[in-house]
Amino acid sequence: MADVTIAPAQRHPFRDIRLFLILIPFINVLNYYLTYTHIPSGWRLVATFLIDTLEGYAAWWMIRLLIHRLDRQFPYERSFVQRLIMQCTVTSVAGILVIASTTELVNFLATDKPVPRTFYTHDIFIFFIWILAINGIYIGAHFYDQFRQADLTKHEALRIRQEGFMVRSGRQNVAVPFNEIAGFYVDGEYTMLLTDQQKRYVIDQSLDKLEEELPAEWFFRLNRQYILHRQSLSAFDRMENGKLNVRLKGTPGFPESIQVSRTKAPAFKKWFSPD
């Protein structure tokens, strides 16, 4: 039976939970410094700080949920300006509503006095500034990740050309030399690599991505399902309507022939017989 190994996706998530678990209490310390002329002492200070920190966590979590939802439904790539305005607006309104409602609730339960007017004339403005700062952190993290992924893709393409195609074999990453690769194909929801020794590997890349990265002098995208190495092909026959019937060298796991569309036919003939 052929060896099948799954190559895991390389993801570098923004570890925002760990960051904000530390950042929210720090923000509260700054808020106390900016808000209070006289900071209460003793158990009142501890209780007030704990409640304010929990309110901050609740507001941040709401902001986080909204940003993640916008990432799915209205990504930055669609329209950066519209996304920026939308994100800052909805997160500011939601965050301030969470803080204001929880403050009113705690005040109602703990005292019979109304919330001080300064909360709505002064404190809310400070909270708004912090919400914008939180948005800035998420926006910066997004574009840093985009830059990092682009840099990784560039280095990956260079490494592929130098070493062969990297796959996961057990706990190791190994390079399959190009001259040992029969080709790549789609099997259901998976992209597979097949070697000339009939070893198969599941690849965490689409054929579209592979087509961009693989050396064009050795590999050709025949259709939506196959990218084959030159050594896997033997000849081709011309068909009606300008199509081609490409014959393979009898590689187990591949069909005997694969059709190439009329639009791809000229490029294939030039690639297969460059002279």
Per-residue pLDDT band at 271 (split at 50, 70, 90): very high
pTM exceeds 0.85, yes or no: no
Token pair 């996304």 is found at 83
At 260 the pLDDT is: 94
Q: How far is CA 40 from CA 48, 49, 203, in A?
A: 9, 10, 60
Q: Does residue 77 register a pLDDT over 50?
A: yes
- In tens, the pLDDT along 94-131 reads 999 999 999 999 988 888 888 888 888 888 888 899 99
User: Of 107, 114, 100, 20, nearest to 67 (Cα)?
Assistant: 20
Q: What is the chain's mean pLDDT, rounded?
A: 85
pLDDT given at position 262: 93
Q: What residue ranges define each of the domains in the chain, with the CATH number in brackets?
A: 16-156 (no CATH), 166-272 (2.40.50.1020)
Give the tens place of pLDDT for each residue, 27-62: 888 877 766 666 666 777 788 889 889 999 999 999
